[in-house]
Amino acid sequence: MSVTIPSLAPWHSCSDCSGGPQPGARALLAHYLESVPDGTSLGIYNCRQVRGASSLSIHACGRAVDCGIPTTAAGHRAMYAYLAALAPHAEGLGVQLVIFDRTIWSAKRAPEGEPYRGVHPHLDHAHVELTPKAGEALTLATLRARVGDFRREPEAPTPPTTPPARLSKEALVGQLSVVDLSARGVRVTTGPVGTLQSLMAARRFRAAGSFDRAGKPDGIGGPGTRDALGRFQRTRRTGRPSAPAVADYIAGAATWSEALGTVRVMRFDRGVVRGSVVGTVQALLAARGYPPANTFDRGIPDEVGGRHTRAALGAFQEATGTGAADGSADLIVGPATWGALVV
């Protein structure tokens, strides 16, 4: 399977984090989700660097959409069909780059694209970037008019009540990829290293020299992080499968489960709350770039959810659309917010 994209818009880099997803990116994601029945959202905004590189990701400017798809033949056919519908209009819509199925298309690489040799093969999602102008101006109506309106019932009313998704710790752990720090002296920057650093600090296993004054992790798996992971695995017995008390320095499902700790719905809308789960939420907010002010001691959260934690959580929910139905923050850490925090 393949797709030809005749031309794309000139590429624009990202120089600073925007603080949230751009309207055009939200419109593109909405169009994808209504067009592909099995499509899912893997997110838009994430203030981070390109995996395995030092430059800012276009996600940091809120102009990159990760359109999730099952890694099956049917899933890939559906994604290629959507990209084929988008392809003739890509340049006019302000699409500047597409990565899917180990292939990258850009103004320099269209129409057939070329092999993508980045860290992530993009088998489970298509990464689609917009220009700054498209990020601001692209609308869902424009996408429907030019690419196609694939809604089965365009005017169908929204169901009155939709039960919330069930919160599952196993599902959250499944979102986290393996972080391999087994090679001594190797600095690892791929995968959720920052998440690992923050969660270990919340469990009082701080990676030395890995946090700024605000409590944000650096996302670099160096000697300090490797040492903290080893101590954590030996203490929590999540090391080698055959000898759990022996550290293997590979953060897999067992280590992630222990580092994540207790997972439950947390309400920050009813005053100050305290406890280890609060510390986990604070740590994850810091890993996502929203550290609650005056909360951290060299990366270790204070486990007191007061006004600073509420402010950080509110900003995160508004940026990720995981709060109330109208897009505002509800300060309730439920399934959607947990899912966005654990990436």
Please list, in sequence order, all residues whose beta carbon lies within 8 angstroms of the beta carbon of residue 6, skipping any fewer than 6 positions away. Answer: 87, 88, 90, 91, 110, 111
Please list, in sequence order, all residues whose beta carbon lies within 8 angstroms of the beta carbon of residue 38, skipping any fewer than 6 positions away. Answer: 69, 70, 74, 75, 78
Residue 150: pLDDT over 90: no
Residue 132: pLDDT over 70: yes
Average pLDDT over residues 66-94: 95
Residue 164: pLDDT over 60: no
Domain boundaries in the chain?
A: 23-146, 169-341
For residue range 218-234, what is the model confidence (pLDDT) as tens digits?
999 999 999 999 999 99
Average pLDDT over residues 256-270: 95
Residue 154: pLDDT over 80: no
Backbone angles phi, psi at 211, to 5 degrees: -125, 145
Residue 110: pLDDT over 80: no
Please list, in sequence order, all residues whose beta carbon lies within 8 angstroms of the beta carbon of residue 78, skipping any fewer than 6 positions away. Answer: 36, 37, 38, 39, 69
- Note whether 197 and 217 are within 8 A (CB): yes
Confidence band for 2, pLDDT divided at 50, 70 and 90? confident
Confidence band for 144, pLDDT divided at 50, 70 and 90? very high
pLDDT at 65: 95
For residue range 5-45, what is the model confidence (pLDDT) as tens digits?
999 999 999 999 988 899 999 999 999 999 998 899 888 99
Instruction: Report yes or no on whether pTM surpasses 0.85.
Output: no
Average pLDDT over residues 156-181: 75
